[in-house]
Structure 1
Amino acid sequence: MSIRHLDHTAWDAVVVGAGPAGLACAADLCAAGLRVRVVEAGDRPGGRMRTDLVAGCTVDRGFQVFNTAYPQVRRRVRLDRLRLRPFTPGFLVCDDGRRLRFADPTRAPRQALEGLAGGLAGPRDLAALAALTGRDVLAPATLLRRGKDTTTRRALARAGFTDDFVARFFRPFLSGVFLEDQLATSGRFFHLVWRSMARGTLCLPAGGIGAVPQVLAAQLPYGTVSLESPVTELTDDGVLVDGDRAVTARAVVVAAGPAAAARLLPRLAVPPYRTVTTYYHLATRSPLREPTLMTDVRGRFVNTCVLSEVHPGHAPRGHALVATSALGGDLEGREQALRTALAECYETDTGDWDLIATRTVDEALPAMPPGLPLSRRTRLGAGRYVCGDHRATGSVQGAMASGARAAREVLADLTVG
């Protein structure tokens, strides 16, 4: 086989993948003065953070929200460039035909009383919620990371919540966060997530979630990212792109998704991943005149939202875009069953809603059982590194933090070298 050089530069580091982990790693390496090349198989940066235009609508690759409280986000992203719009500080719970509201009592105290009046929470649960939130917000993050780990279900029981409140409040809401409905995820990770939600604001960029990696990529030196350049093999002195184009580098950082990373690094152990499917419906009128998430106690979906109420530009004028996510793949008959559930929860007729897109994400989030390390070393051997949410936690914060750790380890090795 004849091998051609993609370019004639001997790079200090080549980063495989332009998702948030790879872009964070590349940014730190470039800031340190290294010559860096990012090679991305897709036609744009982002990986799983991708947005498409479908029927005049802004459609993400699965429903994703942007949390302004993540430390890596605050450090790296120019928020003004995203034109963010917030969701309501709280959510609605669909419970046997009733819509009960949970509102953050620190931000919307009057609305928070509706949850008490509607029977969603009693005095005991409200007191436990205040204590939990206060501890997680005020305690140092290092203290939360070092706590004794257990499942989220057991952590909530220890915090004093009733089984009924967990079933109607935490389980539906956290199903959309962890992409599993048994509350089997690490309680330590739950506390960190709860802390970030209480401290930050859940938002949606004007251009969809794909705008985030676009901003990150734009901050790199011009020409750093090479798109439509799939890496087929790692070599002794770099990588092969498309099987016959060589990129030479002293260090290779694999920041691709878990399946691609495991293919390039056969000895790499990756955790199982959760799958989620999001259905995008276009309606002629909005079924809910507020930018609020809704969960379902019966588990027919994990969450639903009228995206055009958050950002009107997400749908054509005079229409509403509704995104609804459910665990697992696109099962036969699921979309029709969802219409029935959405008609009940939105209290409207969904028969004329137009299904414009279905997005199934097989590698949406890694499974995070108790005892899972919140951060892992990225160095696999001489000149070989790997980063991504499968090396940290299943979040944008985790992916970027893993990329930052990879950059530190690359810099340490190349400096010694």
Structure 2
Amino acid sequence: MRLIHRLEGIPCLIVCPNVVRYHWEDEIKRFWKGEPPNIVQYQGSANERREISQPDVLIVNYELFRLDFEHYFSKFEYKMTLFDEAHRLKNRKAKVTKCAYKLKTKYIHLITGTPITNQFDDIWSYLRLLFPEQFGSYWKFINRYGNLANNGFGTEIIGVRQDRLPQLTKTIQQFSIRRRKKDVLPDLPDKTYQTIYVDLTPKQRKAYEEMKKFMVASLGKEEIEVPNIVSQLMRLRQITLTPKLAGFESDESSKLPALLELLQERKLAGKKTVVMSEFKQWIDILENKLNTHNISTVRITGAEDHFEQRRSQQTFQNGKADVALCTIRAAGLGIDLTASDMIIFTDIAWNDTDNKQAEDRIHRATQKGNAQIVRLFAKDTLDHVILNRTILKAITAGQILSEDIQHLEQLLSA
């Protein structure tokens, strides 16, 4: 807020995830010195949105910014623009990023805790936004700083040139301010990690091995269809929860009784718990199962509107629910769940950025105890493979397919 004051940054545009739109409005009103500016939320029907005149501060989510750019946002000029969770602009080919490139604004500020989520070239898009004349060419930037290789399909970035790394770091530092959580919140409790392994049930193991064999056979074909491989990887992950999610008849689950035991113990101890998964259908199953065992729940899955989500959060924070059932991405931003000191992941995302943001729902300034991160994994499955791969950065299906079949078989059987 002081930044907007100091630069007299009105009219100001704030582009942010939908879940934090009202948080931005609340914070502006809270910290603004003197009479607060006229703040408008960009929402409503298409006709209603077209009638919005330019206010002092306009707050919009990324989806509507992209959708309405040509007939609304491109027609105005802003003194200041803030992009919150700016890593959403890392893809130079995405329409939302191209809209940001074309926006007419005097000042741009990019706010993100995860500027690089995959490869070092993520950073180019931010530099292009801030200094288009200096960083106008993507390939000039890549050829200068990147290690490149031909993978048989084209040029692939395999890392950053070590001899140019100090120069790249210096360039980034010139245009950025980094604030680490431990620096601004020195009293914040630590995170502790625990992995609990369970054995798949016989029917789960049978379904898992069938799907694995089918996937390896698909990779042996001359033509590999990437969407099919991605779908099969997802089904392998779902089977570790219950084969039912992957289209099998069996609804057995080794993770469910283990999770239920943990949650019952914590309820007896008077403790609240957050449970995370990538799959909404699994959250549906957990909700029904926990409620039959007298464990009260709220849910945050992305299917709820902003007000339903806020009610769920408040219910949990006020101690009126034992468990918050959340999908990793839906609950990864703008939500405080510090009524609990434990998150249990029944599965994790391929992208470790998503996992870390989900963890931080309980790792905040209002947390009194250590933040306990528990992973509930099935032995001899993709669970531990994904964990190892997230340590090496975001791994996509395309990267897996660039490896030979033998190596993939080793990953699946590890």
So what's the TM-score if we normalise by structure 1?
Answer: 0.23
Whose relative contact order is higher, 1 or 2, with alpha carbons under 8 Å and at least 6 apart? 1
> Greater CA radius of gyration, 1 or 2?
2
So what's the TM-score if we normalise by structure 2?
Answer: 0.23
